[in-house]
Structure 1
Amino acid sequence: MTQTELFQALKSIGFPVAYGEFSSQVTPPFITYQFANSNDLIADNINYVSIENFQVELYTAKKDLAAEQKVQDKLKELGLPYRKFETFLDEEKVYQILYEVQLIGG
């Protein structure tokens, strides 16, 4: 899967989606995603298989289990295992649900 395919899949959930951040204010729920780091498989001194780690972040105004389930269902549909973290951002008054995913070979 490529980054472009990830973006299209996230858009299909039905929430606004942007890489990194939106250029104007958006009302939750919305999704951002961004490249975090790479962890390529290296063999014979070359990067043999590309492994890119991305963070997919769901922002909601209140704890929204249905929105979380939509994101999780999409990640499962795509065959992307994920790790999930949650925090409440006091300054913005939103919940941030962060999913760590890996794109292999994209």
Structure 2
Amino acid sequence: MTQIELCNQLKTIGYPVAYHHFTTSPEPPYIVYIRTNDDNISSDYKMHGKFKNYQVELYTVKKDLEAERKIEEILNTIDPEYKTFEEYIQSEQMYQVVYQIKVIERR
């Protein structure tokens, strides 16, 4: 899966989606995703692909279990071992749910 494919999958949810940030913040809920780092997949001194690690962030003004379910349905098809973290951002008065996923990109 490529970064473009990940973005297109996230867009099927129906919320605004941006890489890293929006230049003008949309009304929540919205999704931001960021590639955090890569891990090479190699053997016998040959590179076979990469694990590209992404952080997918959902922002909502209230706890939105339906929005989380929609994201998790997609992430389950990409990396069923994703990790989830949540916090309330007081200064923005928004909930942030963060999903950490690995995407395999083969060469």
CA distance in 2, matches of 1:51, 1:72: 19
RMSD: 1.3
Tell me whether 1:40 sits opposite 2:36 in the alignment. no
Residue 60 of structure 1 corresponds to which residue in structure 2? 60
Correspondence 1:3 to 2:3:
yes
User: Which structure 2 residue ranges, 5 or more long, are not aligned?
Assistant: none
1-structure distance, mates of 2:41, 2:74: 26
* TM-score when normalising by structure 1: 0.91
TM-score, L = length of structure 2: 0.90
Q: Distance in 2 between matches of 1:79 and 1:63?
A: 24
5+ residue gaps, structure 1, are none
Measured against aligned partners, the alpha-carbon deviations of 1:55-104 in whole angstroms (never above 9, x if no partner) come to 0000000111111111101212x332211110111111111000011111
The residue aligned with 1:79 is 78
Distance between the aligned counterparts of 1:45 and 1:73, measured in 2? 36
Q: Which has the larger displacement, 43-52 or 95-104?
A: 43-52
Q: Give the structure 1 partner of residue 17 of structure 2.
A: 17
| 1:44 CA drift (Å) | 3.4
Q: How many residues align?
A: 105
Q: Which secondary structure state, in structure 2, belongs to the residue aligned with residue 14 of structure 1?
A: coil
SS in 2 for 1:39: strand
SS in 2 for 1:40: strand
Alignment partner, residue 91 of structure 2: 91
Q: CA deviation at 1:12?
A: 0.5
Work out the percentage of aligned pairs sharing the same amino acid. 42
Structure-1 separation of matches of 2:33 and 2:8? 12
